[in-house]
Amino acid sequence: MSPKLRKFLEFCKDFSSNKVALVAFFIFLLILFVAIFAPLVSPTDPYDLNTVSIMNSRLPPFSEDFSGNYFLLGTDGAGRDMVSAIFYGLRVSLGVGVLSGIFALIIGSFFGISAAFFGGRYESIIMRIVDIQLSFPSILVALIILAAFGKGIEKTIIALILVQWAYYARTARSSALVEINKEYVDAARCLAFGNTRIMFKHILPNCMAPLIVVGTLQTAHAISLEATLSFLGLGLPITEPSLGLLIGNGFEYMYSGDFWISIFPGVALLITVASINLVGDHLRDMFNPRLH
Amino acid sequence: MTSFICTRLAQSILVLFIMSLLVFGGVNLVGDPVEMLINPEADQAEVERVIRELGLDRPVTEQYWYFLVNAFKGDLGSSFIFGEPALKLIIQRMPATLELALFSLFISLIIAIPLGIYAGYNPDSKASKVIMAGSIFGFSMPTFWVGIIFIMIFAVQLGWLPSTGRGEIGTFMGINSSLFTLNGLSHVFLPALNLALFKISSVIRLTRAGTREIILQDYITFARSKGISEKRVVLIHVLKNILIPIVTVVGLEFGSLIAFSTVTETVFAWPGMGKLIIDSIYNLDRPVIVAYLMIIVTFFVFLNLIVDIIYTFLDPRVRIKGDHQ
């Protein structure tokens, strides 16, 4: 057995020691599957105007229409099947959350590691910017960006990247500072490797554990923040119906007692965010040397 | 020390300047307010008159310069929609936001501190595990969605509490607030509880961690060995010592409550600053957007400045580091 595989199996065993986190992880995999294959697993295409009928609008859960279509979670104001709308919504929400998380991870770890590597004035400027940004609540940063530049999918992603990058930068810098003093970095320097190679081929892989922990927790946060912004009408446009937008659409029917249009997308959002948070929480405990 | 404060002050002003550039530049790229504001039936002359009146015909750089000069005079422009000074509109709505934030801070402390102490005192009990799992869910739950559920349960289904507006406003010692009337209190309760949720989760975790540390201290052992009842140990010794860090952290994070109140205010139609900004964004009411963002950023920049200065008094290590820079 190769050492890498053994290490991986050890990690799996370690991870499974917490049953709650394990269950959360499988729930998340299921959600991910549904999101990726939404067009295949959805009962109907909620945005195909040929199949959606306004006659079916606001049917309660467990109802059937005249042609025998079954709506497990009811329909929304336009007659769309809620199950399908939620599956498609998950796709958008997860897509935006994960995409912004990846970009923020790349940008944040670039600045974090380079700050630790070069030090001096460059480091203090970068870290001062990080400090200043972290002193503003995330929703405020996103609100400023979207209020100033308007809504839209790419602006929402930019806002979410801006909200998150500072966390990655801080984490990357603090773990890079520890790594830089280790012998393998000295060895790489003696071999006259370029700075870029040392930073990203040698130091970065050794900083990944804390970055992954921050990554899971931040992605959960980004998904939730995107939903909030879309609900407020600042995030994604109506053409990209994320879970937040679905909840917002259902809000107007709340007062007439049609609870399912808002509640079920919210439950989907809650399960998604909570499962990622539970996995992240457990990963943090696993990587935290103080708890061992 | 003085140099530390000066650096920080200069930095704050720089942040404000960059923000003004960003906010003003950004807002001017969004949409066309002329189309939004002028009656479509107005003739050309009327359209031109309004454009001139609002200063929309000037070059953007000139508009920005006027904006900066006027901002220093406290004049952040007039709302396109209300026709009133933007600053005045925001200040009028500030008390509603502050009252909501304060009340929810109160609720979160009342709920979270006892739960946190319990969970820290009996870390292995079933109830503590439920509390801690609940706090993870509290973090995960989207505030706006919980607000919708509150409205559905308590306002629509049960009809116990109103779900929109601020209610009757009472006056006490010259302060107008809906906290002073029963009707007002019934209006503030749901939004405040909603806003308190994420704070409750974090205060529970903070209190639990603090309690677990404190009960290992010698003075707790000493108090117990004196024969003081456990109830007294918890209520006097643990509670007193835990309050200091909690009040500090929560007080310092008060700004985040104000930022998050934007969401709650929109859900509950609470007439505060947050609802005003969302409505203004929706209506492309540029002066109000710019004024709100400038005011909130100024507020946060100075809040952070004050926090930094207080920290240097409390923690000498920060002071020494600051002097070296």
Give the distance from CA B54 to its chain's centroid.
31
Measured CA to CA in angstroms, residue B19 lies from A132, A162, A213, A229 at distances of: 12, 14, 31, 21
What's the whole-number average pLDDT of chain B?
79
Tell me the chain A residues in contact with residue B152 when contact means C-beta distances shorter than 8 Å.
254, 259, 262-263
> What is the tally of helices (H) and strands (E) in chain A?
13, 2
- CB A238: neighbour CB atoms within 10 A? 10
- The closest alpha carbon to A103, from A51, A153, A158, A32, belongs to A158
CB-based contact, A159 to chain B, within 8 Å = no
Name the residue facing B15 among A132, A220, A266 (closest C-beta): A132
pLDDT in the model for residue B324: 47
Q: Which residue has the higher pLDDT, A149 or B93?
A: B93
Whether residues A273 and B142 touch (CB distance < 8 A) is answered with yes
CB-based contact, A126 to chain B, within 8 Å = no
Residue A238 has pLDDT above 90, yes or no: no
Q: Which bin fits A233, alpha (ψ -120 to 50), beta or left (φ > 0)?
A: left
User: Taking CA A104 as the corner, what is the angle to CA A158 and CA A145, rounded to the nearest 5 degrees?
Assistant: 25
Q: Which residue has the higher pLDDT, A231 or B250?
A: A231
Residue A179 has pLDDT above 50, yes or no: yes
Q: Testing the interface with A: which of B140, B156, B281 to mutate, by most A Cβ within 10 A?
A: B140
pLDDT in the model for residue A54: 65
Residue A166 has pLDDT above 70, yes or no: yes
Q: How far apart are CA A24 and CA B196, in angstroms?
A: 26
- The closest alpha carbon to B289, from A148, A188, A20, belongs to A148
Residue B325 has pLDDT above 50, yes or no: no
Measured CA to CA in angstroms, residue B110 lies from A16, B53, B78, B245, B251 at distances of: 37, 52, 41, 16, 15
Which of A43-52, A170-179, A220-229, B300-309 has the lowest average pLDDT?
A43-52
CB-based contact, A119 to chain B, within 8 Å = no
Q: How far apart are CA B267 and CA B279, in angstroms?
A: 12
Is the distance from CB of A203 to CB of A190 less than 8 angstroms? no
Name the residue facing A274 among B140, B259, B277 (closest C-beta): B140
3-state SS, residue B85: strand
Contacts of A101 (CB under 8 A, 6+ apart): A160, A164, A215, A218, A219, A222
Whether residues A144 and B145 touch (CB distance < 8 A) is answered with no
Whether residues B142 and A136 touch (CB distance < 8 A) is answered with no
Which of A208-217, A252-261, B4-13, B113-122 has the lowest average pLDDT?
A252-261
State the smallest CA–CA distance between residue B236 and chain A in angstroms.
30
Is the distance from CB of A226 to CB of A93 less than 8 angstroms? yes
Residue A19: its H or E element? helix A19-36
- Residue A178's pLDDT band (cuts 50, 70, 90): confident
- The closest alpha carbon to B201, from B124, B123, B133, B100, belongs to B133
Average pLDDT of the segment spanning B168-176: 65
Is the distance from CB of A82 to CB of A73 less than 8 angstroms? yes
- The amino acid at B164: T
Q: How far apart are CA B235 and CA B253, in angstroms?
A: 25
> What is the 8-class DSSP label of residue A150?
-
Cross-strand bridge partners of residue B170: B177
Average pLDDT of the segment spanning B218-230: 84
Residue B322 has pLDDT above 60, yes or no: no
What's the whole-number average pLDDT of chain A?
83
Q: Is B47 exposed, middle or buried (0-12, 13-18, 19+ CB in 10 A)?
A: middle
Tell me the chain A residues in contact with residue B259 when contact means C-beta distances shorter than 8 Å.
136-137, 139-140, 143
Global pTM value: 0.83
- Condensed to tens digits (0 to 9), the pLDDT of residues A80-125 reads 777 888 888 898 899 999 999 999 999 999 999 999 989 889 998 9
State which residue of chain A sits closest to B31, comparing Cα positions.
Answer: A150
CB-based contact, A152 to chain B, within 8 Å = no
Is the distance from CB of A113 to CB of A199 less than 8 angstroms? yes
Q: Is A288 exposed, middle or buried (0-12, 13-18, 19+ CB in 10 A)?
A: exposed
- Condensed to tens digits (0 to 9), the pLDDT of residues B22-52 reads 777 776 666 565 665 566 666 777 777 777 7
Whether residues A147 and B145 touch (CB distance < 8 A) is answered with no
Task: Establish, for the pair of chains A and B, how many residue pairs have beta carbons separated by less than 8 Å.
Answer: 125
Q: How far apart are CA A48 and CA A242, in angstroms?
A: 16
Whether residues B278 and A232 touch (CB distance < 8 A) is answered with yes
3-state SS, residue B269: coil
List own/partner pairs for A50-55 with CB under 8 A and 24 or more apart: A52/A78, A52/A79, A52/A80, A53/A79, A54/A78, A54/A79, A55/A79
Q: Is A196 exposed, middle or buried (0-12, 13-18, 19+ CB in 10 A)?
A: exposed
- Write the DSSP assignment of B130-198 as a string of letters: HHHHHHHHHHHS-HHHHHHHHIIIIIIIS--S--SS----EEETTEEEGGGSHHHHHHHHHHHHHHHHH
Query: Which positions 221-250 of A are in contact with B (Cβ < 8 Å)?
Result: 224, 227-228, 231-234, 244, 247, 250
- The closest alpha carbon to B98, from B16, B166, B17, belongs to B166
pLDDT in the model for residue A236: 82
Query: Which positions 6-45 of A are in contact with B (Cβ < 8 Å)?
Result: 20
Token pair listed for A11: 């990690």
- Condensed to tens digits (0 to 9), the pLDDT of residues B57-84 reads 777 777 778 778 877 777 777 777 777 8
Average pLDDT of the segment spanning A275-280: 89
pLDDT in the model for residue B88: 86
Residue A55 has pLDDT above 70, yes or no: no
